[in-house]
């Protein structure tokens, strides 16, 4: 019987899908694109009624884009654009939208602030709502493509560097002896003979008792790739994984001589990195179809990382990634010796982790689809589709068991998973989910339970718009139910870690981009401030940060957040907040747009006493497009980031990390150095590491995730392990730039010869950005 219901359901889905064709087709065209002081663009959206029925007056057209203004001006006399939330808009009648007879064409011109840069910036995710409130997705939709040449002509009077595009081609042939044996480059290496090719030899792995798990891991990986037909006449390969004293926590040594491999480390983490380095010397076939031949570089290596914190941040709230893709990403991170997975599990557009006792968070916040009122699930942000059950990027969450599997697997690879559940802003999914919970419990006659975890002040009339164009996305920090809710999250997630037998060491509270205007017209906050005259309204954010930090401290968990949790305002200036500088809050310094003046914020915060992770948006934000080419997807608000931009970052002298401002003007190293806050000795000790970020507003599938990360992530990997590049220690700018070009050429050669071929095969293969030959 169940199979009959399933078949009927599938048939209904198919019929619904087919029905959407032949209803309305659409076309988008760019009309004008203005660059300069007052940038704007004009475009037109054309609708055609391709059905044999009249579309009655009163229809609406919904769409997504984060690349037009919330105040977009309709140039059609009967229609208007109305911003709903985030990237979700509706075109509707000023009184009623006009009827469209079969075959009718309707042109809707509009004007928006901001120039049009990318072909992916056109409106997408079109949903047509008929006058009777039935709806369908507009699947027949064409958009005009802007060519690179078109864009070059449009920006002739500007300095945007559109003509440049990274081409990963080295200028010379390099000898193996001139280059490191793998990436990220080890600290020291020395070849003492030519690479040996060993075919169909037996192989044995022996590990000291302390490293039995690491030895087992190595053997398992080798068996995946080495497929010999054992020739008993061949001398076997022996691999030893030895525990020795005196090396750093993540340090290791390798010596390969003839067919003997010795990997030495003091800790299991260092031993794992030695194993990964040995595997990195294997040919690409090893990771694909398998090979009966191993390459044994005759080499000695001594290695340890420059930074203790080498992170990768992934946002799964904006667009979801399946559990299997997270495992694949963790494998890649471990291979390249990254040791922190910063996991953003909630935001305005989605809640992605099960919390026992609060099913509304995932039943509501973990689903997206079309509705008029957003009462049962979130709207289809980022064109995630009209139907919640058919939305792999909009709908999805990790169950408690899923999450335990993820943190357990990461722990086995010596990767710390830091959960981020951002507050007080970026919280709309949670706020609406708890409002749904409130309504249902009030109907059930349980007012005390209904109020227990409520996050909103229902009478708050504060007017604000977040950085991502959300209204009502900031929790009420003046009511105890907000803190009860967050304490519930901490305890439930801590239980998951405990059950997985993984220590929960650190937590990220977000804390960024709290919109100005929040709590200004909240009766609950008015009452709270009247009862607590020692607290000023402008101090509410600090009050909230401290309260949340105390909840974490009570559970023995370290507190971290984006740079804003350690900042305050002095007039229009953003400065380190001395109030919390002795609290050991870990700050993630991100807002470093080249040319805007905040590029040294990481140093100022570190000098003030905060532990700092450098997350520089201009270098390590992988959701930025690879280039200005209109066909390269991604953001450009902090410029563009390719492999070179990540690779040439100098964490210890950040003013050397740029050659141009975001506007394409020359970045002068001497001028930048003069205005940068120099790192004090205290500040240097507070720079604990670096992190690469992938936010996912424009990333809608596992394949897209991989494309955005690779190969640019490998430039970041080099910096996270090796630290400041050798060229940055030279005296003059001329010397530095000459040496930088030489070092980059060697890096590119190694990338093309070893890393990219392996990525085609490794862990099932990755979808990365190919470069011209």
Residue 12 pLDDT: 47
Which pair of structure tokens corresponds to residue 336?
A: 């390249």
Edge-first strand listing for the sheet containing 79-85: 79-85, 88-93, 60-64, 124-129, 135-137
632, 645 Cβ separation under 8 angstroms: no
124, 81 Cβ separation under 8 angstroms: no
Model confidence over 327-346: pLDDT tens digits? 999 999 999 999 999 999 99
Model confidence over 557-595: pLDDT tens digits? 999 999 999 999 998 899 999 999 999 999 999 999 999
**Nearest 5 degrees, angle CA 191-CA 195-CA 199?**
150
Neighbours of 550 (CB within 10 A): 13
Residue 2 pLDDT: 46
Question: Is 513 a residue of the active site?
Answer: yes
Residue 171 pLDDT > 60: yes
Residues 6+ apart with CB under 8 A from 566: 576, 577, 580, 581, 585, 587, 605, 608, 610
3-class secondary-structure state, position 112: strand
584, 558 Cβ separation under 8 angstroms: yes
Say whether the peptide bond before residue 711 is cis (omega within 30 degrees of 0): yes
Residue 437 pLDDT > 70: yes
Neighbours of 757 (CB within 10 A): 16
Report which DSSP code applies to 750. Answer: H
Residue 433 pLDDT > 50: yes
User: Which residue from 35, 161, 207, 29 is spatially nearest to 108, judged by alpha carbons?
Assistant: 29
In CATH, what class is 2-154? mainly beta
Model confidence over 516-537: pLDDT tens digits? 999 999 999 999 999 999 999 9
The CA distance from 773 to 167, in Å, is 8
641, 622 Cβ separation under 8 angstroms: yes
Phi, then psi, of 73 in degrees rounded to 5: -100, 120
Model confidence over 588-599: pLDDT tens digits? 999 999 999 999
Model confidence over 248-294: pLDDT tens digits? 999 999 999 999 999 999 999 999 999 999 999 999 999 998 999 99
- The answer to whether 2-154 and 188-303 have equal CATH topology is no
State the angle between helix axes of 702-709 and 712-722 in degrees (0 to 180), rounded to the nearest 10: 50
Q: Please tell me the CATH code under which domain 188-303 is placed.
A: 3.30.379.10
pLDDT: which is higher, 104 or 15? 104
CA distance to 103, 110, 218, 233, per residue, from 229 (Å): 69, 68, 20, 12
Strand 60-64 with 416-423, pairing: unpaired
Burial of residue 574 (CB within 10 Å: 0-12, 13-18, 19+) is: middle
Which pair of structure tokens corresponds to residue 436?
A: 């749904």
Q: Which of 78, 257, 293, 513 is catalytic?
A: 513
Say whether the peptide bond before residue 184 is cis (omega within 30 degrees of 0): yes
- For the chain, the structural domain boundaries read 2-154, 188-303
Average pLDDT of the residues of the chain: 95
Model confidence over 110-125: pLDDT tens digits? 999 999 999 999 999 9
Percent of the chain with pLDDT over 70: 97
158 falls in which pLDDT band (50, 70, 90)? Answer: confident
The CA distance from 313 to 699, in Å, is 14
Give the gyration radius of the chain's Cα atoms: 28
State the angle between helix axes of 702-709 and 323-335 in degrees (0 to 180), rounded to the nearest 10: 20
Could you tell me the pTM of the whole model?
0.96
Residue 264 pLDDT: 98
User: Which residue from 447, 439, 450, 441 is spatially nearest to 376, judged by alpha carbons?
Assistant: 439
Residue 60 pLDDT: 98
Residue 688 pLDDT > 50: yes
Model confidence over 610-623: pLDDT tens digits? 999 999 999 999 99
Residue 21 pLDDT: 56
Residue 773 pLDDT: 46
644, 716 Cβ separation under 8 angstroms: no
Report which DSSP code applies to 145. Answer: P
Residue 547 pLDDT > 60: yes
Which pair of structure tokens corresponds to residue 139?
A: 């699947």
**Nearest 5 degrees, angle CA 636-CA 642-CA 646?**
105
Neighbours of 578 (CB within 10 A): 11
CA distance to 560, 592, 660, 670, per residue, from 667 (Å): 32, 14, 5, 9
């Amino acid at each position: 019987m169940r199979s009959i219901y399933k078949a009927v359901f599938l048939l209904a889905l198919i019929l619904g899908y087919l029905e959407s064709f032949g209803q309305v087709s659409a076309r988008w065209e760019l009309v004008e694109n203005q660059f300069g002081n007052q940038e704007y663009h004009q475009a037109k959206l054309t609708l055609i009624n391709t059905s044999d029925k009249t579309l009655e007056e009163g229809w609406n057209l919904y769409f997504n884009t984060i690349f037009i203004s919330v105040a977009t001006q309709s140039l059609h006399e009967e229609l208007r654009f109305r911003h709903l939330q985030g990237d979700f808009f509706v075109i509707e009648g000023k009184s009623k939208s006009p009827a469209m007879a079969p075959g009718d064409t309707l042109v809707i011109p509009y004007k928006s602030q901001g120039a049009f840069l990318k072909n992916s910036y056109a409106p997408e995710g079109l949903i047509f709502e008929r006058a009777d409130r039935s709806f369908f997705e507009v699947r027949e939709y064409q958009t005009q493509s802007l060519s690179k040449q078109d864009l070059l002509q449009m920006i002739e009077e500007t300095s945007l560097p559109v003509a440049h595009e990274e081409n990963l081609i080295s200028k010379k042939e390099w000898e193996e002896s001139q280059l490191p044996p793998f990436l990220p480059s080890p600290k020291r290496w020395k070849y003492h003979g030519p690479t040996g090719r060993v075919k169909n030899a037996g192989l044995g792995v022996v590990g000291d008792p302390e490293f039995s798990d690491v030895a087992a891991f190595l053997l398992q990986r080798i068996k995946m790739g080495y497929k010999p037909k054992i020739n008993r006449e061949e001398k076997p390969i022996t691999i030893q994984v030895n525990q020795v004293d005196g090396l750093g926590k993540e340090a290791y040594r390798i010596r390969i001589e003839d067919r003997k491999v010795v990997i030495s480390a003091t800790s299991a983490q260092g031993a794992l990195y030695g194993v990964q380095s040995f595997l990195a010397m294997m040919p690409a076939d090893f990771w694909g179809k398998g090979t009966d031949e191993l390459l044994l570089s005759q080499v000695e290596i001594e290695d340890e990382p420059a930074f203790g914190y080498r992170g990768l941040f992934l946002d799964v709230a904006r667009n979801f990634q399946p559990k299997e893709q997270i495992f694949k990403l963790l494998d890649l991170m471990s291979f390249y010796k990254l040791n922190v997975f910063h996991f953003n599990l909630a935001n305005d557009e989605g809640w992605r982790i099960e919390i026992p006792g609060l099913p509304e968070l995932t039943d509501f916040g973990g689903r997206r689809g079309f509705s008029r009122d957003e009462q049962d699930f979130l709207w289809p942000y980022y064109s995630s589709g009209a139907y919640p059950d058919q939305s792999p990027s909009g709908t999805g969450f990790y169950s408690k068991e899923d999450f335990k599997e993820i943190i357990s697997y990461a722990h086995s690879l010596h990767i710390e998973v830091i959960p981020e559940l951002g507050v007080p802003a970026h919280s709309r999914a949670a706020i609406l989910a708890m409002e749904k919970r409130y309504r249902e419990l009030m109907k059930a006659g349980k007012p005390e339970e209904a109020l227990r975890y409520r996050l909103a002040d229902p009478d708050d009339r504060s007017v604000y718009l977040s950085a991502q164009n959300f209204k009502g996305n900031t929790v009420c920090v003046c009511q105890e139910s907000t803190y009860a809710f967050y304490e519930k999250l901490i305890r439930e997630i801590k239980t998951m870690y405990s059950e997985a037998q993984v220590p929960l060491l650190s937590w990220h509270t977000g804390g960024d981009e709290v919109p100005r205007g929040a709590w200004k017209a909240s009766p609950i906050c008015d009452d709270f401030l009247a009862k607590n005259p020692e607290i000023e309204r402008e101090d509410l954010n600090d009050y909230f940060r401290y309260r949340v930090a105390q909840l974490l401290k009570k559970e023995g968990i370290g507190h971290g957040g984006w740079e804003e949790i350690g900042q305050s305002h002095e007039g229009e200036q953003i400065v380190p907040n001395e109030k919390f500088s002795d609290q050991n809050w870990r700050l993630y310094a991100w807002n470093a747009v080249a040319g805007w003046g905040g590029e040294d914020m990481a140093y100022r915060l570190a000098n003030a006493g905060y532990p700092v992770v450098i997350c520089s948006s201009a270098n390590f934000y992988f959701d930025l497009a690879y280039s200005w080419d209109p066909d390269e997807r991604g953001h450009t608000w902090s410029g563009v980031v390719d492999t070179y931009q990540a690779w040439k970052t100098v964490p210890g002298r950040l003013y050397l990390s740029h050659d141009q401002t975001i506007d394409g003007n020359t970045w002068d190293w001497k001028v930048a150095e003069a205005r940068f806050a120099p790192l004090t000795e205290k500040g240097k000790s507070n720079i604990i590491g670096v992190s690469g970020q992938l936010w996912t507003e424009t990333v809608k599938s596992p394949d897209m995730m991989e494309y955005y990360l690779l190969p640019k992530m490998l430039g970041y990997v080099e910096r996270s392990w090796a630290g400041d590049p050798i060229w940055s220690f030279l005296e003059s700018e001329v010397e530095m730039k000459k040496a930088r070009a030489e070092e980059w050429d060697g890096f590119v050669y190694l990338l093309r010869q070893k890393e990219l071929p392996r990525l085609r095969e490794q862990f099932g293969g990755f979808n990365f950005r190919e470069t011209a030959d």
